[in-house]
């Protein structure tokens, strides 16, 4: 069974619109990555938060940021990093 679409639009415009919708859906799907399992090294976390790595190490040592140790390196879960960031921000405003 064939579908026939009757329209006053030009076929080129129709194809362009369909292609744009497909590209939008592809972009939306790739932007929804699951970050709950993502781990950051101390260096990556420092770059994200615009601080030096020593600051991240100090927060881990003080217990403000929870980190997992694999061998000699520490890794921070995405959720832990941003939860800790929100807590530190709220502590600054309580002073």
Secondary structure (H, E, C), the chain: CCCCCCCCCCHHHHHHHHHHHHHHHHHHHHHCCCCCCCEEEHHHHHHHHCCCHHHHHHHHHHCCCCCEEECCEEEEEHHHHHHHHHHHHHHHHHC
Q: Output the CA torsion 33→36→41→44 (10° steps).
A: 50
Asked, for residue 19, whether it belongs to a domain, the answer is no
Asked, for residue 3, whether it belongs to a domain, the answer is no
The predicted model gives 56-72 an average pLDDT of 90
Asked, for residue 43, whether it belongs to a domain, the answer is yes
Asked, for residue 75, whether it belongs to a domain, the answer is yes
pTM here?
A: 0.56
Give me the number of domains the chain comprises: 1
Asked, for residue 52, whether it belongs to a domain, the answer is yes
Asked, for residue 64, whether it belongs to a domain, the answer is yes
Q: Domain range spanning residue 61?
A: 39-94
Instruction: Report pLDDT digits (tens) over 2-54.
Output: 666 656 666 666 676 766 676 676 655 555 566 677 899 999 988 888 889 99
């Amino acid at each position: 069974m064939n579908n026939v679409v009757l329209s006053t639009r030009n076929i080129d415009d129709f194809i362009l619109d369909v292609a744009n919708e497909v590209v939008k859906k592809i972009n939306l799907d790739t932007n929804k990555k699951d970050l709950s399992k993502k781990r950051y090294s101390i260096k990556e976390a420092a770059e994200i938060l615009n601080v030096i790595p020593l600051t991240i190490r100090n927060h881990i040592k003080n217990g403000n940021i929870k980190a997992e140790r694999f061998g000699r390196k520490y890794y921070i879960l995405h959720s832990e990093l941003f939860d800790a960031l929100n807590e530190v921000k709220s502590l600054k405003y309580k002073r």
